[in-house]
Amino acid sequence: MPDLPQPTDEDVDVVIIGAGPAGLTLAHALGELNIENVLVIDRDTQPGGVPRYSDHHGYGLRDLRQPLRGPIYAGHLALRAVKGGARIMTEATVTDINATKRTIEVTAPSGRVTIKAKVIVIATGCRERPRAARLVPGTRPAGVFTTGWLQRLVHLQHGSPGKRAVIVGAEHVSYSAVLTLRHAKCSIVAMVTERSRHDSFTAFNIGARARWRFPLLTQTTVTGILGDHQVAGVQIQDAKGRMKVLDCDNVIFTGDWISENELARRAGLVIDPGTGGPAVDARLATSAPGIFAIGNVLHPAATADICALDGAHAAAGIADYLGAPGSWPTRSLRLRTEGPIDWVSPNLLPPTARTAARGKVLVQFNERRRLPRLEIVQGGARLWSGYVPWGIPTRPVPISDSWLAAVSATGPDPILRVLP
């Protein structure tokens, strides 16, 4: 563990909360811009965020342009950040943010400290919605997991969830759970989703199911968890109302993401009603000057490389802010949505920002659409319209950010909507 800040009010230029792909990539990018006093704080024992324990391929494609296993990817990002001059403090938990004083409260084995920063970046990621929050009734036995718990259990603790699993959800992360379960030699009884089909890549679905032979039960609801001390089964109901019990000893609730937004809310930042995370503009600045947010706390859940590229993008805005904090333009319009859209990110529109991370704005549908057409209007004016390659729940789709320059700072809130 690197040296921990001892004085109760250390001053740093930038403090980044969360050493996941987003936070670590930002730390590196700030180093490239010669911003020196950067501190990354993570509550975990090691930096890396989710990929650290998500031990399979598929990381690093868009940002590092090579396919890496999660832990290797995490290690690479952490090393690069440290080489660039950032300090990483682990086993340190941020318990509060004061947006006006721009301070954070940190609890670590070395002490309870207050750190003052010119810029605070929230990069706390997202989590999966657990069983209780989905209001799945029944008993409360052991053996009910999320993918996050499962992957830590298997890859960090070398434990096993059981022998027969039911997977709830059929999105990307659900197939990530399949890989982890097979690694732990746990068979898969079924994958269950309320939707009419899976939401992942066809290749993942066909590949995984052909290899490990489990059924995908669509339009099926989990109506109860059975078992006294250990899960003894899962009760399900299909579209026709037929009930059935799946015999299993563990259940994995996958996906259905929630922004890890506690700090953002405690700080009193404007929260976007769609993402549940802090509202941000194209610079990834939040509603409070000097507070930025990046990664899946903003858009639960994009892939890790997209989170990392948020980090790379935010560095420029942070450098601008550090250069002239007094003249930071904050008056913002909200980007509102209409139609079958869960959220859009970024979702604040300041007068000056012209480009978004990767030149893309992310849109999440909540209903399946084939080759959907979207438009953005402000008052009577159409700022943009175009087709997007997919409209799939749980899979954010990128649209161009070319329209940002056309937004009128004095106009009403622009609206993003799906055209018939």
Partner 1 sequence: MEQTFDVAVIGGGAVGCAIASALVRESLQVVLLEAAVDVGAGTSKANTAIWHTGFDAKPGTLEARLVARGHHLLTERQADFGWPLERTGALLVAWDADQLSRLDSIIANAQANGYSKVEVKSASQVYELEPNLGAGALGGLLVPDEGLLDPWSIVIALATDFVVNGGTLRRKAAVTGAKRAAGAHELQTSTGSVRATWVINAAGLNSDVVDRLLGHDGFTIIPRRGQLIVFDKLARQLITHVILPVPTATTKGVLVSPTVYGNVLLGPTAEDLIDKSATGTTAEGLATLLAKGRAIMPSLIAEEVTATYSGLRAASEHSDYCYDAFPDQYVRVGGIRSTGISSALAIAEHVVADLRERGVKMAGLAAPTTVQIPNLAESRMRPYQDAARIAADPAYGRVLCLCERVSLGEVRDALTSPVPASDLDGLRRRTRALAGRCQGFHCGAMITEMTSAWSGHSHA
Ligand X SMILES: Cc1cc2nc3c(=O)[nH]c(=O)nc-3n(C[C@H](O)[C@H](O)[C@H](O)COP(=O)(O)OP(=O)(O)OC[C@H]3O[C@@H](n4cnc5c(N)ncnc54)[C@H](O)[C@@H]3O)c2cc1C
The residue ranges that bind partner 1 (CB under 8 A) are 43, 91, 93, 95, 107-112, 127-133, 135, 137-140, 142-143, 145-146, 148-149, 152-153, 156-157, 159-162, 223-224, 228, 230, 249-250, 258, 262, 265
Q: Which of 5, 125, 274, 317 binds ligand X (CB under 6 A)?
A: 125
> Between helices 70-83 and 304-323, what is the axis angle to 10°?
20
Q: In whole angstroms, how close is the CB of 331 to partner 1 at the nearest point?
A: 27
SS (H, E, C) 96-148: EEECCCCEEEEEECCEEEEEEEEEEEECCCEEECCCHHHCCCECCCECEEEHH
- CB nearer ligand X, residue 109 or residue 326: 109
- Our finding on whether 94 is near ligand X (CB under 6 A) is yes
Q: State the binding partner of 18 from ligand X, partner 1, none, CB within 5 to 8 A by kind.
A: ligand X
Residue in the block written with tokens 């960090």 = 156
Closer to ligand X at the Cβ: 50 or 113?
50
Structure tokens at 413: 């809130």
Contact predicate 89/42, CB 8 Å: yes
Q: Which listed option, partner 1, ligand X, none, makes contact with residue 157 (CB within 5 to 8 Å by class)?
A: partner 1
Residue selected from 58, 162, 277, 372 as contacting ligand X according to rule CB under 6 A: 58
- By beta-carbon proximity to partner 1, the closer residue of 7 and 207 is 7
- Contact partner, 90, from partner 1, ligand X, none, Cβ < 5-8 Å per class: none
Contact 285, 292 (CB under 8 A): yes
d(Cα 307, Cα 298) in Å, to the nearest integer? 9
- d(CA 216, CA 311) in angstroms, rounded, equals 36
Between CA 164 and CA 199 the distance in angstroms is: 23
With CB under 5 to 8 Å by kind, the binding choice for 295 among partner 1, ligand X, none is: ligand X
The least distance separating ligand X from the CB of residue 196, rounded to whole angstroms, comes to 24
Smaller CB separation from partner 1, 146 or 193:
146
Interface residue with ligand X, options 27, 29, 39, 50 (CB under 6 A): 50
Measured CA angle at 198 (ends 389, 247), to 5 deg? 170
Contact (Cβ atoms closer than 8 angstroms) between residue 296 and residue 302: yes
Question: 């950067």: which residue's tokens?
Answer: 38
Determine if 208 is a binding residue for ligand X (CB under 6 A).
no
User: Judged by CB under 6 A, does residue 41 bind ligand X?
Assistant: yes
Structure tokens at 83: 């080489």
| Residues making contact with ligand X (CB under 6 A) | 17-23, 41-44, 49-51, 54, 58-59, 93-94, 123-126, 147-148, 151, 173, 176, 260, 263, 295-296, 301, 303-305, 307
